[in-house]
């Protein structure tokens, strides 16, 4: 028996039905992530005394060329990872949030090959690497947590590379904002209004774009009402719907996909 047109849900009805399920799924993911980070921090704190260091914006947690002795866990705040490019420019190669580990780059050669710089006030837990190895040998759950952190860093680096290699400029900026907001959401923080902890030039460095291109992309996103600037300095950004940024990214990709077909 065929459905009559009156029995077919309208797009708005379908959207209202899907949105609560989406929000429920996002909340479940955030709760799971918060529990995972809390469990990991508890494992670290229980294994040995950690050195807690308060950092402020601009403080170096470790620097390129420094002898590797410790891994660090970011308990609060935001951190940028910076490499020196071949032409002498600082190149931002990674961003870290609460629960992320710092210093994996130093394990292979016993020397750090990048800088870890605080983007705002936060707390870092420093863990002697030798003590961590000994603790992991006796505590399988701690070892699993370290391996999990390594795996997540590899996946994050791969996703960042995919964004830079495959997305047009405006979509890269939209994807950056979406990823930042989703990272905040996973940690139970608000996502409807965020403060950009990076300058336009730093965002460009991270995304492989010029400062002017980043500014034009942000202006386009504002014109399309995907974001709103909450202050004259344009550092506070309001995002009415994070999912709409994903839709914008897919819209930007559509012409390229159509060309390949």
Q: How many CA atoms lie within 13 A of 121 on its CB side?
A: 0
CATH number at residue 172: 1.10.10.10
pLDDT for res 84: 82
Specify whether 237 is located in the same domain as 130. Answer: no
CA dist 211 to 167, 204, 220, 224, 249, Å? 17, 6, 14, 20, 20
Which tens digit of pLDDT belongs to each residue from 126-185?
Answer: 999 999 999 999 999 999 999 999 999 999 888 888 888 889 999 999 999 998 888 888
Q: Is 84 helix (H, G, I), strand (E, B) or coil?
A: strand
- Considering just the CA atoms, what is the radius of gyration of the chain in Å? 21
What is the longest distance spanned by two Cα atoms in the chain? 74
Comparing CA positions, the residue from 230, 225, 216, 231 lying closest to residue 245 is: 225
Which tens digit of pLDDT belongs to each residue from 235-248?
Answer: 788 898 888 998 99
Does 17 map to a domain? no
Specify whether 173 is located in the same domain as 111. Answer: no
pTM confidence score: 0.80
Range of the domain at 234: 167-255
Specify whether 122 is located in the same domain as 207. Answer: no
- In the chain, how many domains are there? 2
Which tens digit of pLDDT belongs to each residue from 9-67?
Answer: 443 443 444 455 556 676 777 778 788 888 888 889 888 888 999 999 999 999 999 99
Helix axes 211-223, 200-207, angle to 10 degrees: 100
Does 260 map to a domain? no
């Amino acid at each position: 028996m065929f459905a009559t047109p009156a029995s077919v849900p309208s797009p708005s009805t379908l959207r209202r039905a899907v949105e609560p399920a989406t929000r429920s799924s996002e909340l479940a993911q955030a709760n799971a992530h918060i529990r995972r980070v809390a469990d990991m921090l508890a494992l670290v704190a229980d294994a040995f005394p950690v050195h807690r260091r308060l950092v402020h914006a601009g403080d170096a947690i470790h620097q390129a060329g420094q002898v590797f002795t410790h891994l660090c866990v970011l308990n609060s705040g935001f951190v940028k990872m910076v490499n020196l490019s071949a032409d002498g420019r600082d190149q931002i190669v990674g961003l870290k949030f609460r629960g992320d580990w710092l210093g994996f780059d130093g394990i292979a050669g016993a020397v750090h090959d990048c800088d870890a710089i605080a983007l705002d006030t936060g707390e870092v837990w420093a863990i002697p690497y030798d003590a961590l190895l000994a603790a992991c040998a006796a505590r399988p759950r701690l070892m699993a947590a370290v391996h999990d952190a390594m795996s997540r860093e590899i996946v994050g680096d791969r996703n960042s590379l995919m964004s830079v290699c495959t997305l047009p400029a405006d979509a890269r900026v939209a994807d950056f904002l979406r990823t930042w907001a989703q990272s905040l959401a996973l940690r139970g923080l608000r996502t409807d209004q965020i403060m950009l902890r990076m300058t336009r030039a730093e965002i460009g460095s991270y995304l492989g774009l010029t400062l002017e291109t980043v500014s034009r992309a942000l202006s386009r996103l504002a014109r399309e009402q995907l974001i709103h600037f909450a202050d004259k300095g344009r550092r506070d950004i309001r995002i009415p719907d994070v999912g709409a940024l994903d839709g914008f990214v897919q819209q930007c990709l559509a012409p390229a996909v159509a060309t390949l077909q």
